[in-house]
Structure 1
């Protein structure tokens, strides 16, 4: 059995922890931590020159941890300083501001939308772009990322909290939004794809399936009704409408497999895979889990170019480091944490659990489904308890019932989204897209039925105090280790026999 490659585990953990601490701590404390890490890294490099083989290995690891920790802290410090010195922070009254849309709107307030933006100018004076949120009437515009608007707005300080440390202000529109710049062409294309998918799904399916399918395919939950959303959450199926690594693997893996079947070279496969990953991220928008999955997939592609088999743990470590350095706010994002720990659970425990089930007589296919579900739940369950103080009692059976049909709905929906954006709304592309979406209807309705049956009962989610997470985590890990030891013992007996 191969030993897990943990070389990037400590640097990734240090990078993540440093960004979270820097977002929470005063600037002076963070600066001290960065300076200490630089000194520690230089000391480790000096020690490595005179140490033995083992000492050199330890010194190199220590230098790497200090290096990425210092880099992560410095990145956050520079972002915080840029926000604190932005003119929008000290402005009074209701100035005219120019903003660029930075993401999708949310609609938690009836009739209003909260839009993530970057402020680029205040009262006509240009400034370095800083993050802000803009509250406006939802009937004003249908914004796309990259579009630029001019609006008179009331300026308020950002909310208190670690997650908003890199947000400069909250803006409330007091006038109409005036568009002054179009979105990049790729965002326009992505917006067209998303809009057409919503339109065709509404035409071909009932209200609830039509609201769910865009969420399964693109993470677009704007049409998802409250009942379905609540039931998915209670049944532990929310990850299905928060596009993540599984969706990326499904879509981009299908594209790569199709190219490989044509006999294309390794370089061509990698190039097409890179285009598929970039296109997928643009289409579904860069959320926490999508960024982690995209970076991890890119690492695997680069390794494939060099004819090396990428190992999952180093790829995950690289993904964490790259994402945190580029988007340090992810260090305190629950979605990113859930995505990483779910992947870690799959990497560490899905194979041992599957082998144990097969040894005990379970067929390969159901053993694989059950092992993936259990492995993902091992670490996500304690984290969810910490975040929500609730536990999903029926999460495992709900996911087992959902997994066989999610891929079918996702692939049919993705194909419909791409085809439906070609030509006119009711042209050949629209007709074929409607056919594909009707084919995706049964698996989508099945997912709704699973959520209604297993998420609807009031006892499907129980309140669990956060402090009990330690006992839950300890019990789960102990159970898995016991199962793994039993599997190894059974394997050795089988080999001797």
Structure 2
């Protein structure tokens, strides 16, 4: 094998992932009619192309094109069937009429408090039964509950709940059947599965151990490790949004990559073989998914993080790109609603940036004399910003101008916090007092993270509003491409370095006051 071969990208699965995503997106946003039309179009194209190939001598690309058309037809058929099932579900008519019903539902994830909506929570659930006027309908499907926090906030995923609520059409086109407005506590609550009781107890004990830290750090640590932001102050959330660090407070592929990387390093350190390492990494991944909750977003992070780790550990983008495409296909088949989920789009594009762009930029910086560790930190942060900024603009209508600097500044402490936090969580399951001692190791790194977010958000024009939706995405994408083209000029690079130094100077005067809070 030549030295250059691992650097090549194997893109053969990429069109299959693209057509799967496109077919799913068209079906969910356009409805079953659009999905059936797409199926007819792709199937017809496949038949015509097969006839063409039969009359002509086959070439290398013909088999791949025919396979792509047939695969797209299968994806369109699958999403058409699922969308049509949602459109014809018994709850669809009841939701259009805003009917009051009694439901039996199963929680999918933890109730989440809604900012600015009083003491109310949002709960993703799956319908088990619909009870109305003496009639019981057994029919599954996804619903979103809007309920008062009292009686709902402490419920665990997997619990069956009986409730009385008013149906209304879903707020988003994502295969959910209805939005259910609940005015009171649950009528009945069933027991949680054993593994969710264990996970809930571990999360509670971990939060109790983290409570010995200052309030901001105590609320942040569970969010960084297991995605539990229930105790994170609103001010800290806002600061993380303004500085482009919000991805750290949610379960992301970065969490998974760091944890699995730590497991693999431990395996190598004790001299275990690759098979034992794979088993231990798989066990750690399963345990992490259970503790962080096996919601679609967590499973998406697990898949993307595993792919990212593959790229970093093997150094072979040729293997990582097919793994990313296969992961996207598997996730969309299992949960088609991810096609319209901004978190999924951000994860997939950020992982692709890590695989495709970051290694090239790392090599370019190392050739110019940069230390490899610094080059990797800068390249990963810049690549992630470049590929995700247009998506963030479309989603939130805002672009953080300090995101790159903020992510570079906090990069050295994220691994320490994640690994130490995970160890603390495991110890908390056995002894909270011992965990309270171990968790203090994270205080300085957490202080640094909170301070970077806090002070970065105070910089003038730290974040800039842009049009949301496609217009904002196109505007920011154009700006990113223009900056990329301008960077080919040495003079422009010097100007940008000067701007970065200016940002650091603006940050500098406020470090002493922040240090006083830690001391």
- Residue 267 of structure 1 is matched in structure 2 by 275
Q: 144, 162, 166: which one pairs with 1:154? A: 166
**Alpha-carbon distance in structure 1 between the residues aligned to 2:317 and 2:339:** 29
Distance 1:48 1:295, change over 3 A: farther
Q: 1:288 to 1:477 in 2, by over 3 A?
A: farther
- Secondary structure of the corresponding residue to residue 112 of structure 2: coil
Cα deviation code 1:250-297 (max 9, x no counterpart): 112222332344443433322222222222222212456543342356
| Structure-2 change in CA distance of 1:42 and 1:431 (3 Å) | farther
Q: Does 1:448 align with 2:450?
A: yes
Structure 1 spans left out of the alignment, 5+ residues: 423-428, 484-497
| 2:332 and 2:339 in contact (8 A); partners too | yes
**Does residue 1:335 correspond to 2:343, yes or no?**
yes
- 1:432 corresponds in structure 2 to 434
- How far the C-alpha of 1:138 sits from its partner, in A, is 1.0
Structure 1 contact 390–461 (Cα < 8 Å) conserved: yes
> How far is 1:390 from its partner?
2.1
Whether 1:170 aligns to 2:179 is yes
2:27 aligns with 22
User: C-alpha distance in 1, partners of 2:396/2:308?
Assistant: 34
Where does residue 390 of structure 2 map in the other structure? 382
Deviations 1:345-377 (A, max 9, x none): 111121221222222222222111111111111
SS in 1 for 2:399: strand
Q: Is structure 2 residue 91 aligned with structure 1 residue 83? A: no
1:477–1:315: structure 2 CA closer, same or farther, 3 Å change rule? farther
Residue 97 (structure 1) aligns with: 103
Q: Following TM superposition, by how much is the alpha carbon of 1:90 offset from its aligned partner in structure 2, in angstroms?
A: 3.0
CA distance in 1 between partners of 2:49 and 2:278 (Å): 37
CA–CA distance in structure 2, aligned partners of residues 71 and 421 of structure 1: 46
Deviation at 1:80, TM superposition (A): 2.0
Structure 1 residues 42 and 99: alpha-carbon distance in aligned structure 2, compared to 1, 3 A threshold: same
Q: Measure, in 2, the Cα distance between the counterparts of 1:208 and 1:22.
A: 43
State TM-score, norm by structure 2: 0.83
User: Matched residues in 1 for 2:318 and 2:367: separation?
Assistant: 28
Partner of 2:12 in structure 1? Answer: 7
Give the aligned partner of residue 192 of structure 2.
Answer: 183
From 452, 465, 476, give the equivalent of 1:469. Answer: 476
Answering whether residue 48 of structure 2 is matched by residue 37 of structure 1, we say no
Separation in structure 1 between the aligned mates of residue 325 and residue 36 of structure 2, nearest angstrom: 25
Following TM superposition, by how much is the alpha carbon of 1:341 offset from its aligned partner in structure 2, in angstroms?
1.1
Distance 2:325 2:196 in 1: 30
Report the CA distance between 1:434 and its aligned residue: 0.8
1:278 aligned onto 2:286: yes
Q: Measure how far apart 1:179 and its partner are.
A: 3.9
**Range with bigger deviation, 406-415 or 20-29:** 20-29
Normalised to the residue count of structure 1, the TM-score between the two structures is 0.87
Pair 1:353–1:299, CA change in 2 (3 A): closer
Go from structure 1 to structure 2 and tell me whether the alpha carbon gap of 1:175 and 1:359 turns closer, same or farther (over 3 Å shift): closer
Gap change, CA 1:17 and 1:369, over 3 Å in 2: same
CA drift of 1:479 comes to 5.7
Task: List aligned pairs for 1:296-445, cutoff 5 A.
Answer: 296=304, 311-422=319-430, 429-445=431-447
1:457 corresponds to 2:484: no
**Cα offset, 1:94, TM superposition:** 2.6
Whether the 8 Å CA contact 2:304–2:348 is kept in 1: the answer is: no
* Displacement of 1:127: 1.9
Compared CA separation, residues 45 and 404, structure 1 to 2 (3 A) = farther
Counterpart Cα distance in 2 of 1:223 and 1:140: 18
Q: Distance in 2 between matches of 1:242 and 1:301?
A: 18
Q: Flag the 1:288–1:146 CA change in 2: closer, same or farther, 3 A.
A: closer
Secondary structure, aligned partner of 1:361: coil
C-alpha contact (below 8 Å) 2:253/2:308 kept by paired residues: no
